[in-house]
Structures are given as structure tokens and as C-alpha cells.
Amino acid sequence: MAAIVGAAETLDAGASEDAQLRRSFLDILLRHAQRLAQLTTDLLDIARLEAGYRPRTESVPIAEVIETVTASLRSRADERRISLVSQSAGHFAVQAERAAVEQILTNFVENAVKYTPEGGRISVQALRKKDMIALEVEDNGPGIAAEHLPRLFERFYRVDNARSRELGGTGLGLAIVKHLALANGGDVRVESTVGQGSKFSVLLPSA
Ligand SMILES: Nc1ncnc2c1ncn2[C@@H]1O[C@H](COP(=O)(O)OP(=O)(O)O)[C@@H](O)[C@H]1O
Ligand SMILES: [Mg+2]
């Protein structure tokens, strides 16, 4: 908020008359306004989840969720020359709220696109694990040191605060994911090796 006010004041004080300054302060304004919008949405999501969210579950075909989510994030992956592939989605279906499954997968894939360097690879797949279905997103990005893994799903927890902020992160994405997974009768997992990549999974009851 302070950055937005500061940029607007600077423009108002005359920076808007210089084309280059105008461009750069408008960029700042836009970037911070987008971040504030994301933060507001995330905080509202958390508040709703904590106020006693009851999912409306149905049988959700996993292949459809993977298709919807990868289609919506494809252009962002392309911009960063990241290949986004989905492997065997099979004929699995989960008993969960469709919007929640989409939001969980979107968060995982968005993170993978953000944190994986240009030219990387992200794969999405579904597997059966007894009476649960695991939905996994694996990347070959920087990986996360073991000491961070136990706290990754806490609110506002970020491995690299400065870098995450720069990329527009709020540190709430994975906390929302965990809430949604638990409320839908599932759970989350993460495995990661520094220098090799990360694998985030959600387990949901098989339909
Ligand atoms: N695929 C990934 N590769 C590396 N680090 C990741 C990945 N996904 C999440 N992280 C780390 O976990 C932190 C928390 O993620 P999240 O809750 O989504 O917050 P953010 O808004 O920062 O993306 C991120 O700041 C980042 O440090
Ligand atoms: Mg995130």
C-alpha cells in the first residue's frame, strides 16, 4: 500500500511529465496493486476456510482438473520456456469439491512456474494410493532445503522472502492448499532436493 501511495504521489508531483519516469512509476503502481489484490483474495480465502468451510463434494474426474489447470497456466509456462506436461491422469476420480481441487492444483503449478528457472520442466500426474488418489506436481527447479520443508505449509512462510515478494508471492498459497486438502478429507506432501527440484502432492479420497 505504501509503495502504491508513494508512486502515485511521485507521479502527481511531476514525474508523469517525463515519459520514462511515468513508465517506471506506472510499472511500480501496477505491480504493487496486483500484489495487494492477490493478498486480499488470499486473506479472504483463509478467513472463509477458518470460519468453517464445508466442501460440497462430488465425484471429480482428475483428468478434467488437470486439463483445466494446465490450459489456464500454459501461456505463463510458455513465456518462461517451461515445458508443462501431464502424464497418466488415468480414469481416476476424487470425492471432493471441484473448485477446491482446481485451486490446489493451480497453486502447485503456479509455484512451479514461478520458482523453476527458464527452460525447466514441470510434470503433473495422478496415481492411486490405496483408497486415495495422489495428484503430484514435480519440477526440476532449485529445490528446497530440508530444514524448510516442515514449515512450508504455514501461513506467510517463504524460503526466500525477497525473491518471493519480487515474484508477487504472499506466502499464503500453500497454507490455503493445506486447509483445502484437510477439509476435503485429504492431506499434502512435499519432497525436495536442493539443486534437483521439488514434488508437491495432494492426496484426496478416491471417488
Ligand atoms: N515449486 C517450488 N520450488 C521451490 N520453492 C517453492 C516451490 N513452491 C513453493 N516454494 C517455496 O515455498 C514458499 C511458500 O509458497 P506459497 O505458500 O505458495 O507462497 P508464495 O506466495 O511465496 O508463492 C515460497 O515462497 C517458496 O519459497
Ligand atoms: Mg505461491
Structural domain span for residue 41: 2-49
**86's grid cell:** 501431464
Does residue 146 sit in the same domain as residue 115? yes
Q: What residues does 122 pair with on adjacent strands?
A: 84, 139
pLDDT tens for each residue of 109-123: 999 999 999 999 999
Out of 31-45, 158-172, 188-202, least confident range: 158-172
Domain count, the chain: 2
Instruction: State whether the beta carbon of 173 lies less than 6 angstroms from ligand 1.
Output: yes
Q: Provide the H-helix boundaries in 54-97.
A: 62-79
**203's grid cell:** 492426496
Question: Looking at ligand 1, which residue's alpha carbon is closest to its atom 21?
Answer: 169
CATH of the domain at 195: 3.30.565.10
Does residue 121 sit in the same domain as residue 19? no
The span from the CA of 83 to the CA of 200, in Å, is 17
Instruction: State whether the beta carbon of 105 lies less than 6 angstroms from ligand 1.
Output: no
Q: How confident is the model at residue 170 (pLDDT cuts 50, 70, 90)?
A: confident
pLDDT tens for each residue of 80-94: 999 999 987 778 999
> In the predicted model, is pLDDT for residue 32 greater than 80?
yes
Considering the entire predicted model, what is its pTM? 0.92
- Cβ atoms 62, 133 nearer than 8 A: yes
* All residues with CB under 5 Å from ion ligand 2: 111, 173
> In the predicted model, is pLDDT for residue 139 greater than 90?
yes
Instruction: State whether the beta carbon of 168 lies less than 6 angstroms from ligand 1.
Output: no
